Structures are given as structure tokens and as C-alpha cells.
């Protein structure tokens, strides 16, 4: 086992889906996977391995924010031979034409976090999605007639910020949506030579202040999972 994941070598598949919420990991395992087995309960950050259409796939909760997310992604890549990490999460829309329930596929992830500047001695790394995963995800969405937007997103360190208009600068530069993990995910995968992608469902809008109830979130979660699971095949 590694420090935060209580799995044995071989317990975790080469492709891992990464929801922030550990109970979402349980829900995905129970709803979409066959023969799912729980391999991690350390800190309640549940992780499962099962099969989807005959292909082995794992799903691991990561918690919220880049520091928590990085702990799990680092251990998956460094200690369990994981090759493909796919975040499935929620985001806030920063654009008037991106609505609740829409799907956003992150080509790149900007950030207000200092984590990468710590890593790169004050310089800025530009984290981007793995092109193969990204182009396949777009193709799957098109085949299934699932509408989506693709582009730059913002991974923020601050959910409850003090400046209510702080997001508008990012929006003016075309950033589609805000969440809290992907800048770390894409960087850590690059370091390990692994493939990474982030697929998001819009759960709230900073433009209109609308938001989804947790029941409503479940409904659109399915489209995001359909795309993500196809990438494991
Ligand atoms: N801000 C940050 N992270 C988020 C949001 C948001 O509005 N919505 C979903 N994740």
C-alpha cells in the first residue's frame, strides 16, 4: 500500500476515473461497473476496481482542491502502474452561453494556485490534456450526440473568494468554466508520462447564479460517464 491508498499492487486498473467526491466513486462503481471491489477506505476516500464492457477500470475519490487531488494522482501513477487518469467532476460556468448540465472538456487548465510555481521555481508550466484522450473524448461525444464545449478552464484554490467579480478577468480571456483540480492533474500526469483528461458537468453558473440540486446533478452525470468510460476501452 502507499501512504494514502490501501491497495495492493495489481488491485488498481491502468485507467482510473477520478471524481472529487468519494461517494460518487461508490455510486459509479455500483451503477456502471461489473464485479466492482473496493480497494481503498483510508480516510474514507473510496476506491473501486471493476470492469466496464469487459475492460478493467478503477474509480478513485480524490477530495477537493489541487493539494488533495495531487496526493491521490501521484500515488496512483507512482505506486500502482496507472497509465490513464480521467477526472469526472463538476464546474461553474464562466460564460453566458454555457448552461447548467452542459459538458465541458478541458483542453488546458489555468490556475490561481501557487503549486506549479513552487515546482518550477517561479516559472509557469502550461498544463494541457493528453491529445489522444482529448480527441477520442470529443469523437465519442459527437458519436453519441452529446453536446459539449472544449477549451481552457480555471482551477482555482479558493471556492469562497472575497472578490465577487474575480472570475470576470478569466472569462474575458475565454476561460469556459471554473473547478479546483485539473491544473494539478495535467501537470502530475505530464511528470509521470501518463495520459490525463478532465470532463466536467456544469453544476452552477457564476454568470447567472443558477445551480443544480444534487438530484439534478445525478441526471446529467450519466452523459459525462458515458464519455469517460468509453476512454477506458
Ligand atoms: N467554483 C469552484 N469550483 C467549482 C465550482 C465553482 O463555482 N462549481 C463546481 N466546482
CATH topology of domain 15-232: Rossmann fold (3.40.50)
Distances (CA, A) of 149 to 71, 105, 106, 145, 174: 29, 6, 9, 13, 12
Q: What pLDDT does residue 214 have?
A: 77
Q: Taking the CA of residue 174 as centre, how many other CA atoms within 13 Å lie in the half-sphere pointing to its CB?
A: 7
Q: Which three cell numbers stand for residue 51?
A: 470492469
Q: Is the pLDDT of residue 219 over 80?
A: no
- Give residue 215's pLDDT band: very low, low, confident or very high (50, 70, 90): confident
Q: Is 95 helix (H, G, I), strand (E, B) or coil?
A: coil
- Taking only the tens place, the pLDDT of each residue in 89-117 is 999 999 999 999 999 999 999 999 999 99
What is the CA(91)–ligand 1 centre distance, in A?
5
| Pocket perturbation via mutation, ligand 1, pick of 94, 156, 179 by most ligand atoms within 8 A of CB | 179
Q: Taking the CA of residue 140 as centre, how many other CA atoms within 13 Å lie in the half-sphere pointing to its CB?
A: 20
Take atom 2 of ligand 1 and give the residue whose Cα is closest.
179
Chain center to CA of 125? 19
Distances (CA, A) of 170 to 42, 109, 164: 36, 11, 13
Residue 95 · residue 176 · CB < 8 Å: yes
| Pocket perturbation via mutation, ligand 1, pick of 63, 92, 113 by most ligand atoms within 8 A of CB | 92
Where are the chain's structural domains? 15-232
Distance CA 58, CA 208 (A): 36
Q: What is the DSSP string of 33-82?
A: -EEEEEEE-GGG--EEEEEETTEEEEEE---SSHHHHHHHHHHHHHHS--
DSSP class of 3: S
What is the CA(34)–ligand 1 centre distance, in A?
31
Take atom 6 of ligand 1 and give the residue whose Cα is closest.
92
Q: What is the DSSP string of 179-203?
A: ESSHHHHHHHHHHHT-EEEEEEEEE
Distance CA 34, CA 49 (A): 9
Q: What pLDDT does residue 216 have?
A: 80
Distance CA 196, CA 169 (A): 27
Catalytic status, residue 162: no
- Which protein residues touch ligand 1 with a CB less than 6 Å away? 90-92, 156, 159, 178-180, 203-204, 206
- Taking only the tens place, the pLDDT of each residue in 146-173 is 999 999 999 999 999 999 999 999 999 9
What is the CA(147)–ligand 1 centre distance, in A?
21
Ligand 1 atom index nearest CA of 156:
2
Helix axes 131-143, 214-232, angle to 10 degrees: 120
Amino acid at each position: 500500500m502507499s501512504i494514502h491508498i490501501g491497495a495492493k499492487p495489481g488491485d488498481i486498473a491502468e485507467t482510473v476515473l477520478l471524481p472529487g467526491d468519494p461517494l460518487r466513486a461508490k455510486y459509479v462503481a455500483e451503477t456502471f461497473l461489473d464485479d466492482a471491489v473496493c480497494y481503498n477506505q483510508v480516510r474514507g476516500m473510496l476506491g473501486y476496481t471493476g470492469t466496464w464492457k469487459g475492460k478493467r477500470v478503477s474509480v478513485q475519490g480524490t477530495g477537493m482542491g489541487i493539494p488533495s487531488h495531487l496526493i491521490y494522482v501521484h500515488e496512483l501513477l507512482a505506486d500502482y502502474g496507472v497509465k490513464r487518469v480521467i477526472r469526472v467532476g463538476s464546474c461553474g460556468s464562466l460564460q453566458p452561453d454555457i448552461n447548467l448540465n452542459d459538458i465541458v472538456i478541458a483542453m488546458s487548465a489555468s490556475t490561481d494556485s501557487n503549486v506549479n510555481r513552487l515546482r518550477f521555481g517561479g516559472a509557469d508550466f502550461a498544463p494541457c490534456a493528453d491529445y489522444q484522450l482529448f480527441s477520442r473524448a470529443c469523437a465519442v461525444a459527437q458519436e453519441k450526440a452529446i453536446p459539449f464545449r472544449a477549451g481552457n478552464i480555471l482551477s482555482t484554490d479558493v471556492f469562497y473568494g472575497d472578490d465577487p467579480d474575480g472570475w470576470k478577468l478569466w472569462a474575458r480571456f475565454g476561460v469556459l468554466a471554473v473547478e479546483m483540480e485539473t491544473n494539478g492533474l495535467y501537470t502530475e500526469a505530464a511528470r509521470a508520462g501518463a495520459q490525463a483528461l478532465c470532463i466536467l458537468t456544469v453544476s452552477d453558473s457564476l454568470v447567472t447564479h443558477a445551480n443544480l440540486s444534487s438530484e439534478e446533478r445525478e441526471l446529467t452525470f450519466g452523459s459525462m460517464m458515458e464519455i469517460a468510460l468509453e476512454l477506458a476501452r
